[in-house]
Amino acid sequence: MTHAPPDLTDALVVRGDVVTPTHVLPDAAVVVRGERVAWVGPAGDVPAAHRPPAPAAGTLVLPGLVDLHCHGGGGASLPDATSLDDVRRAADEHLRHGTTTLVASLVTAPRDVLLARTTLLAAAADAGVVAGVHLEGPFLSRARCGAQHPDDMVDGDPGLVRELAAAARGHLVTMTVAPEVPGVVSGAGDDVLRALVEAGALPSVGHTDGSAEQADVAIDRAFDLLATSPAARSGRPTATHLFNGMRPLHHRDPGPVAACLAAAARGELVVELVADGTHLAPATVRAVLDLVGADAVVLVTDAMAAAGMADGDYRLGPRAVRVADGVARTLERDPDDPAGAPRAGAIAGGVAHLLDVVRATVAAGVPLVAAVRAASSTPAQVLGRRDLGALLPGHRADLVVTTADLDPGRVMRAGAWVV
């Protein structure tokens, strides 16, 4: 950091306790010129004529948050979107709460639906509404389908991957796959992992009932393929919402969770955590971050249409979902009483914004800097976007001003206030 630029005539100056990737700068300033951060440093170094008044005690200035796994919000479901307005409605709901970069997630669906939705989301990415596309399926385990529809899950098909990648036009960021599903991992030659890496997308282990050994093989192969691919946006594959939609960890049957944690600790994998207080216990969140560190964890929302909305009935692809007391669950019919009232089933995504997830992570005992890094700079690295996710000179000027309790105030994206 250097002395403030002498000429701040055309600059915006934002003051507060600034959270950088490594520490908190008390009473600091972020100088924004155009769409970029020009300078970060002590507020006292900003010439008095351009120095904003001191904000309320504890005011925080965070980098804009980056959500790699989001199915909707504001009443709009991305797996059910049919227009750019639907996509924008969901993205804007999260933008107003501090998520300045959002990857749009789909769920398992028939081939024609996936191709149509991917084409729409690619157009939204071209328009700057979303940062890319995440396909959660269709090569998943029926035994660990969660809120997804098992009837639409199929064996691994590299040809379908290439069709979807072509529809995404370079915007396919990740695809969730179960390593044990035939065709996902061949060990050599053509398989889903190779097709994804060649398309510039990251394989993501998830919705799997496989063994630790099967997960190890998939992670090793994905890591090796990424290491030699000129199209790779990142050198590390990911794990989709670790623990959720996976065979549970057991000391005599460690399953994919142990394999993912070990790979993350080695620097060969990045794990997602839906740390919203519903999907994971606080102690689990704290333990994972203690074990592998914030550079191997991305906090995500897994949000569906009900994010920012009242309790009620919603859709997540082909599944009916009911949100009660802030928790989304599928509605299931009792096969022995099909005419009876539906009952609550599996958790069906989240209803939080990413800033809520950061707040819950800090409440779980994770230091603020680590929680923010896992929701900003680490997911930006997964995206391959070195210009996002940190309040550093040269980065895009995305920032969130919050209270000391991480309640949202103002939001800036690319140098312009949106809230």
Percent of the chain with pLDDT over 70: 98
> Could you tell me the residue ranges of all domains in the chain?
12-63+391-417, 65-383
pLDDT digits (tens, 9 = 90+) for 317-376: 888 899 999 999 998 877 767 666 777 888 999 999 999 999 999 999 999 999 999 999
Q: What burial letters (b/e) apply to 347-365, b meaning 16+ CB within 10 Å?
A: bbbbbbbbbbbbbbbbebe
Task: Compute the distance between CA of residue 207 and CA of residue 271 in angstroms, rounded to an integer.
Answer: 13
Give pLDDT, residue 262.
98
Contact present, 140 and 181 (Cβ < 8 Å)? yes
CATH architecture of 12-63+391-417: Roll (2.30)
Contact present, 279 and 364 (Cβ < 8 Å)? no
Instruction: Answer yes or no: is pLDDT of 148 > 70.
Output: yes
DSSP letters spanning 361-391: HHHTT--HHHHHHTTTHHHHHHHT-TTSSS-
Give pLDDT, residue 4.
62
Global pTM? 0.96
* 384 band by pLDDT with thresholds 50, 70 and 90: very high
CA contacts within 13 A on the Cβ side of 290: 10
pLDDT digits (tens, 9 = 90+) for 150-182: 999 999 999 999 999 999 999 999 999 999 999
pLDDT digits (tens, 9 = 90+) for 98-134: 999 999 999 999 999 999 999 999 999 999 999 999 9
Contact present, 388 and 65 (Cβ < 8 Å)? no
The pairing of strands 327-332 and 319-324 is: antiparallel
CATH superfamily for 65-383 is Metal-dependent hydrolases (3.20.20.140)
Cα dihedral 207, 76, 386, 393, rounded to 10, equals: -140
Give pLDDT, residue 73.
97
